[in-house]
């Protein structure tokens, strides 16, 4: 408390005497909150002119010091201004505390990230210098500095961090890719060694499809195995084989061309597809009976493959599937016209065409093996061209034999 009339100097924050006055009441000095601290806006700004500080008496009269300036501002302390100013100061203090808390949270986040990177990083045996500071500590300090520069908007630091993280992500992706390949190989090995279980007992298609194929033992339709495997991806398959009385000699190996290894169900009524192979003396013309009761024949493995495509997809040869349909048709025509029914010159030309095409992609119609590949392989086998294959065609044939679609065909391609 001061017992003098005083004026608060805004710049120096000092109490300066003005002139002596009789003691009539206590003067209350209100100190303003600095406006430039932490870059916050001014809480309470004193006017640039002199201020008369008064205190109202109980009767409402006031006594004070008369000033010469006409712009004197009177502050009535009893009117509630002091309480309002205090409330503003308190609010700004709360804002400041909130910003400090936010900054502390950011620092905690940076510290957490650094600790996590340190815990996940592989241990490095770093030599210590004379002062006892290890390379690991230096790296941690460098990381912290980079985080601070990143927060400050340093573009070079941002770029270096992005590049470093990208390389880290790529290395992790390569590791995951290698692990996935290992799991896939182990899963395939387990699937081949595991017995078949959970065979279907009821048909899931609206109509049961039956394919009765007649073939000569001199020209075994190896693509029929792939066709049955392809159908098994869309429903249950019952595969059987018979020997007609007209067949003079059928090796036991061919008698098992279709059987338990191809079938996925034992129930005829519960099968979605029934594939029956009858060994007959029909020559080179492998024949499919679409409807056995009507005796409608389809000749050649290439046309049998077209029929299989159509029963699985009614829009197979529509405009929306024109690209795939055209690609399939090109190689099916080559198999039938050049390899099966063509002469020696046409067969050699077909092999050269295959070799040139397979130098550009892994399989005939795309990145994955298809029934078209199986038809061409079977045609090469029956044309006695398979054993002498070389270059890209040999590599392609070997890749086909390792796929699930060719399961059961590999033992015949030797």
Between residues 109 and 10, the one the model is more confident about: 109
Give pLDDT, residue 148.
58
Please state the rounded mean pLDDT for residues 197-226: 77
Beta bridge partners of 277: 213, 241
Q: Looking at the predicted structure, is the pLDDT value of residue 351 above 60? A: yes
Give pLDDT, residue 403.
92
Give pLDDT, residue 395.
93
Phi, psi of 292 (to 5 degrees): -55, -30
**DSSP secondary structure letters along 227-253:** HHHHHHTTS-EEEEEEE-TT-S---HH
Give pLDDT, residue 190.
66
Please give the CATH architecture assigned to the domain spanning 209-412: Up-down Bundle (1.20)
Q: Looking at the predicted structure, is the pLDDT value of residue 136 above 70? A: no
Where residue 399 falls among pLDDT bands split at 50, 70, 90? very high
User: What is this structure's pTM?
Assistant: 0.52
Q: Where are the domains of the chain?
A: 6-90, 209-412
% of residues, the chain, pLDDT over 90: 31
Residue pair 214/278 in contact (Cβ under 8 Å)? The answer is: yes
Please state the rounded mean pLDDT for residues 166-191: 73
Give pLDDT, residue 188.
67
Where residue 334 falls among pLDDT bands split at 50, 70, 90? very high
pLDDT, mean over the chain: 73
Helices (H) and strands (E) in the chain, counts: 10, 10
Give pLDDT, residue 151.
56
Give pLDDT, residue 358.
94
Please state the rounded mean pLDDT for residues 21-32: 48
- Three-state DSSP state, 198: coil
Give pLDDT, residue 157.
57
From CA 13, how far away is CA 266, in angstroms rounded?
102
Between residues 85 and 136, the one the model is more confident about: 85
Please state the rounded mean pLDDT for residues 44-54: 45
Q: Where are the alpha helices (DSSP H) in 247-387?
A: 252-255, 301-312, 322-333, 344-358, 371-382
Give pLDDT, residue 8.
46
Beta bridge partners of 56: 62
Residue 72, H or E segment: none
């Amino acid at each position: 408390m001061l017992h003098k009339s005083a004026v608060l100097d805004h710049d120096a924050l000092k109490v300066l005497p003005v002139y002596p006055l009789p003691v009539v009441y206590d003067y209350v000095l209100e100190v303003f909150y600095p406006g430039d601290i932490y870059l916050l806006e001014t809480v309470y700004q004193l006017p640039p002119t002199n201020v008369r500080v008064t205190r109202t008496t109980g009767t409402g009269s006031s006594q004070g010091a008369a000033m010469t300036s006409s712009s004197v501002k009177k502050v009535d302390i009893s009117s509630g201004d002091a309480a309002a100013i205090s409330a503003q100061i308190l609010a700004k203090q709360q804002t400041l505390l909130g910003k400090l808390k936010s900054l502390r949270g950011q620092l905690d986040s940076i510290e957490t990230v650094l600790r996590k990177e340190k815990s996940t990083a592989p241990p490095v045996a770093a030599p210590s210098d004379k002062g006892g500071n290890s390379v690991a500590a230096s790296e941690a300090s460098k990381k912290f500095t980079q985080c601070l520069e990143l927060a400050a908007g340093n573009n070079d630091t941002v770029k270096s961090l992005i590049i470093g993280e990208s390389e880290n992500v790529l290395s992790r992706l390569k590791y995951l890719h290698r692990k996935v390949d290992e799991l896939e190989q182990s899963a395939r090995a387990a699937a081949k060694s595991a017995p078949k279980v959970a065979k279907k007992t009821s048909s899931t298609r609206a109509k049961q499809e039956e394919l009765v194929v007649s073939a000569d033992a001199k020209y075994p339709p190896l693509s029929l195995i792939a066709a049955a495997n392809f159908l098994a991806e869309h429903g249950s398959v019952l595969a059987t084989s018979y020997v007609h009385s007209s067949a003079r000699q059928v090796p036991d190996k061919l008698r098992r061309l279709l059987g338990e290894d191809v079938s996925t169900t034992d129930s005829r009524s519960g099968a979605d597809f029934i594939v029956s192979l009858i060994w007959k003396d029909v020559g080179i013309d492998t024949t499919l009976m679409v409807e056995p009761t009507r005796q409608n024949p389809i000749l050649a493995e290439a046309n049998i493959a077209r029929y299989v495509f159509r029963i699985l997809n009614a829009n197979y040869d529509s405009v929306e599937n024109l690209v795939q349909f055209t690609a399939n048709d090109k190689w099916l025509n080559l198999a039938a016209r050049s390899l099966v029914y063509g002469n020696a010159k046409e067969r050699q030309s077909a092999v050269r065409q295959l070799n040139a095409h397979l130098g550009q992609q892994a399989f005939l119609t795309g990145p994955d093996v298809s029934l078209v590949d199986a038809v061409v392989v079977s045609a090469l086998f029956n044309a006695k061209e398979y054993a002498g294959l070389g270059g890209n065609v040999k590599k392609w044939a070997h890749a086909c034999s390792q796929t699930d679609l060719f399961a059961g065909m590999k033992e015949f391609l030797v």
